[in-house]
Each structure stands twice: as C-alpha cells, then as structure tokens.
Amino acid sequence: MHLLLILMIISIFTPFLTVNASNIKPVISDSAAFIINHSIPLIARMDTGASRSSINAKNIKVKNASKRMKDNIGKVVSFNVVDTQGIEYPISTKILAVKTITMPQGKENRYLISLSLTWNGKESKVMVNLCDRSNLQYKLLIGRDWLNINALVDVNPKQIIGGVAQYIVADDFPIIARTDTGAASTSINATNIKVHNNANKMTNNVGKIIDFDITNNKKEVKRLSATITQVIEVTNAIGSEYRYKVAIKIQWQNKIQMLNMNLKDRTNLTYKMLIGRDWLGDNAIVDSSL
C-alpha cells in the first residue's frame, strides 16, 4: 500500500521535476546585433513593453495603392532599410496586415510584413510593422512577438569569466584566483594574522582591526589592515571552521568593488584566492572550460 502511494505521488509531480533543455532560452542584452533577410546588419533595441517588433522603413511605396490602408493587404510594398553604416537596402514584400499602434501621442496605423531575423545563429520569421524610426538611435525594435519565443532580456548583462582569472586586490596586488560556484563566500590567503586587542572568542573581535599578509602566485607579499566585519562558519567534507571576514577592494577587468572576504591560510593550495557566489552572482557567468 505504501509503495503504491509513493508511485502515485511520483507520477503526479514528475512533469514538474523534468527540465527540458530545449526550452531554456538564451539571454540577450537590451541591445544586440541582428541580420535582416540574411544580409542587412542592424543593432536592435529590446523592448518588452512592445507587443510587436518594428523596423525603420524609408520611402514606403505600395504597388497599385488604395487610399484605405486595409485595402492594400496582400499587395506588394517596397521600402528601404538603412543599416548601421548608413547603407540603404531595398526590400519588396507583401503586406500581411495593418496594425493599429497606440502611443502617448495618439494612434497610428502601420503595415505588417514578414522579415527574417537572425540572432545568435538562429533565424526566425517575424511579423514586423513599418514605421519612421529615423529620429531614433535604434532602427530596429524587437518586441514580445520575438522575445517570448527566442530570448530572455538582461538589461545589465554579465561578462563571462573562466574557471581561473586574474584579479587586482587592494588597488595594486595581482592574484590569480579559482572561480568556485560551489563556495558561498570568497576567501583569500591570509597569514601572520594579528587582531588588535584580541579576545579569546572570535565573535568578540568583530569591529576590531586585524593585520594580515596576502600572498600571490609569484610569492609576493602585501601587508593589509582591515576591520573585522563578521565571523562565519565554513563547512566542507573534512569538517567546519570559523573564519574572520573583512572588506577588501577587488577588481576584475572594469568591475571594482569592496567585497567581504574570509581569511584562510591557503599557502599549500595552488590558488591564493577563491572567488565564491558572493562575487560571481553580481558580476559574471562562469564558463569553466575557459
């Protein structure tokens, strides 16, 4: 009876536990390079507020045009698209629909056509409305019609970092660090530790000044002084230990910040600093193959 109940529960929740990798969307920035109709390069703005994508269209002409826009559905429209270098490309295609766009300034009717959009090596056919975007920085606007299917938008995209990277610590001290998504906290090699007015209980030293040496892979040494901000318990397969945390300036490429690092004697380890999720979560995506 108990086995039957367990099997029933598993069968109910299995659809929610299964992740289909093919449904995972890539992340796109708030602006990105697209190829239109296999040949026209445009930088597009991602706009999750827009239901429909739109493109800057110059010199719109409808063959055998009628005054009423809806009467032109099915007819051929020709126009020019201007790429990122100012080169004009002629396009001729059928009008598929007329879309009414509501804006703060009022309503506007636009022709809808089908275009091929290629991003990240993937091509999609999209219904795009034609409008005058000549006064806007981006001549192509990508709306939810494309985004819902193809990508997640990150307006502050993170750079990719490898499994090992060089950082600058305390303004001028280079250290090669191991990135570790399994570690919650960043740790740095610290030796010759001295706490001013040291108390026997580590937590009683929070707020006090601590002096320590940091060492890099070239065996260079720099003496630092900092204020103890916290005492944390770090647990691994061997056991657990308590460590001091202090705020130290850290730089990777153009990212500079003060980060609370835990102090650990890493003398016998290859990498004298380990970068944990406290830094990685805000700053980078890890590709361990790099």
**CATH value at residue 31:** 2.40.70.10
Is the domain of 55 the same as that of 173? no
Q: What is the mean pLDDT of residues 14-29?
A: 60
Of 116, 133, 153, the residue that ends a domain is: 153
12, part of any domain: no
In a domain, 49, yes or no: yes
* Residue 110 and residue 202 share a domain: no
Same domain, 238 and 130: no
Q: Is the pLDDT of residue 31 over 70?
A: yes
- Do 71 and 169 lie in one domain? The reply is no
Query: What pLDDT is attached to residue 14?
Result: 43
Lowest mean pLDDT among 2-6, 87-91, 137-141, 241-245: 2-6
Same domain, 179 and 149: no
In a domain, 267, yes or no: yes
- Does residue 4 sit within a domain? no
- Give the residue-averaged pLDDT of 267-282: 93
Q: Are residues 233 and 115 in the same domain?
A: no
pLDDT of res. 197: 97
Question: 61 and 126: one domain?
Answer: yes
Same domain, residue pair 164 and 125: no
57-84 pLDDT, tens digit each: 999 999 999 999 999 999 999 999 988 7
> What is the model's pLDDT at position 7?
43
Q: Is residue 1 part of a domain?
A: no
Measured distance CA(54)–CA(42) in Å, rounded:
12
Domain co-membership, 143 together with 263: no
Q: Are residues 256 and 205 in the same domain?
A: yes
- The count of domains in the chain is 2
Give the model's pLDDT for residue 23. Answer: 60
Kindly state whether residues 54 and 122 are assigned to the same domain.
yes
**pLDDT at res. 13:** 43
User: Could you give the CA distance from residue 24 to residue 128 in angstroms, rounded to a whole number?
Assistant: 25
Distances (CA, A) of 5 to 1, 19, 65: 6, 24, 69
- For 166-207, write each residue's pLDDT tens digit: 999 999 999 999 999 988 999 999 999 999 999 999 999 999
Which of 106, 126, 153 represents a domain boundary (last residue)? 153
Indicate if the pLDDT at residue 217 is higher than 50: yes
Across residues 239-251, what is the average pLDDT? 94
- Of the candidate ranges 109-118, 149-158, 204-213, the one whose mean pLDDT is the lowest: 149-158
Decide which of 153, 179, 212 is a domain's last residue.
153
**pLDDT surpasses 60 at 15:** no
**pTM to 2 decimals?**
0.61
Question: What is the average pLDDT score of the chain?
Answer: 89
Residue 97 lies in a domain: yes
For residue 18, being part of any structural domain is answered with no
Residue 119, domain extent: 25-153
Give domain status of residue 8, yes or no.
Answer: no
| Percent of the chain predicted with pLDDT > 90 | 70
Same domain, 99 and 193: no
In which band, very low, low, confident or very high, does the pLDDT at 17 lie, cut at 50, 70 and 90?
A: very low
Note the pLDDT of residue 89.
95
